[in-house]
Structure 1
């Protein structure tokens, strides 16, 4: 309609409109950057707060509590400062955008008035142009206001988008179940290669465990032993090679089935702020008799029996009300209750004293009999429970054999355990 009423003014309006929109977009991008900084400040504060609270006992023991609390206060001030900047600058940007918009409208009106003076445009048609101009520019202003909400929301979603961009673990179809009607199974690792980015950690691992065999993985820290466990459980996908259960690739078994029959006990087990019962069963239905039997094997029955609520005693976050050795034994009892076909013990007894560890290994012997077991340990007492040992170095297995054979070879194993044996 504006082009029909007065095409010269209409062209002027169409020329100025993109310039106004472009200027407001530049202001909106500044708002996005302010919101991004505010979110980063929140992220840093929340991360530091979680880490500080988790380590508060150690910080107090090291007399560094005040230092880290001051850091938290600085992070909180940073959040406050960025929030204030975002609030007033985004409001200022919105008002500046509106002022720019009004300037454009007034420029159009001035041009229309000049046109009335120097052309045949009537005052009535001029007011008609003002009316159509307002009808056209009001939705444009609403769209400009929407972009500020869009830029702020887009910056706020950046952390969620990073999470969504992460690759999910592979989903394998459950085509075969080698665990069905079997007490235990064999485990084969064939030419396993794995790297964290450019750093290769596992360099062609070949290992075979016969059904019911116990194998110890030993070596200096950082050799790749724990990484190998994550590959076996499917937590990490190897760049090359495959994991087989009784000759069946994991890709045909499915990770849920694999993890249902493979139990892992870690050096620092995950425990929940819940009862002993829930930490043992993880929500499974188990009779109390089975719980007490598992606790007995794990050398923890007397400790739990002495607790005020016994199996219904709450142990605190990460088992804070238990000692390090008690946490490990609770995790071992949890493993026993799951009745696995394959057992992986990753420094599972490192926090135990020699006497308790001896009794634990003695009582575990019957349970682990005829169960394929992989033991990662540095203690000789744990290593000697295995039928044979494999020595890790720099992501490779460099030695393999029985304890006495490896000592006689005078290699890395002899350096680690020879003097202790003597």
Structure 2
């Protein structure tokens, strides 16, 4: 009930207001990105067909599977679907991309095609006649962890890690001449929540000293000084840090990093030796979920797990992973929802608008008359939403720009 009364009910009018506001778009940028994507799709199609030596339907998983695994025999024992077709899903291909350029090209082709059809071609149809803005639907109670979801169009799914995805963000612009876009982002919030809930002294110390957490983790895992950490080590540590939250296995880590499973297993083991309280937290949380049937966030949001005692090991381990992740992701979700409720109150009677939430980030149309004091008030509201245990500090990154890419 407290979650309903304190978070979800007060959030409803906030979401209604945000949906009504919408976000402005620059059609010329969409056209420009569309041209680039079309060129990329054509170039990649050509390169892929040249590698194969003939043309085929790139969008047919059946044909693709037969070429990659039947004819080219890229792996000795290819995985198959229930219907006996070769698997060509994202995960299967991602594990082969570093070894085979054709696979890397196929993944790039798929990404470019999806960005073009889902966003470049579809977004103009979502622009409302009355406002000329895009009004996404925000759903507050459809995810199991409490995160918001977005649809028609889904603006939470624009890839931020790829260059093509980032370029799309240039198309989202402020609503008028006197406005700028402001992005306020909870920095590494899930890792901070994990540090707070587990009470791990080493991770808490890193956050209190405002260290780069991935560099600090790399130094501990590889047993070196922070100054000696090279980018490749930091990348590994980053993958482990975020992977641990989602219960990554040695196999999963080995696939993501393209390293042998034994090496991945050693890295995870060393990680838990360096951060023993995190390992203990994971064990305790799983035990508690098994005993009570649920886990909960700091605010008391519960998620129930009927499969936590399943006799099927695969189903059971999925439930265990979700049980560990839910208090972390759910607390972060509660935090930003509470912040939104408080920010909405601050914004009453102002010219600026809160227009979008993308998991750990809030996007605003900021009026120039309010740019001196409002960002600080928003920052304070976000920091004060939930006090994390063990005095783990919360950090907000603010960005400003003439489009979403610049502001992010």
Indicate the TM-score class for this superposition, using the shorter chain for normalisation: under 0.3
| Greater relative CO, 1 or 2 (CA 8 Å, sep 6+) | 2
Q: TM-score, normalised by structure 1?
A: 0.24
Say which one has the larger Rg. 1
Q: TM-score, normalised by structure 2?
A: 0.25
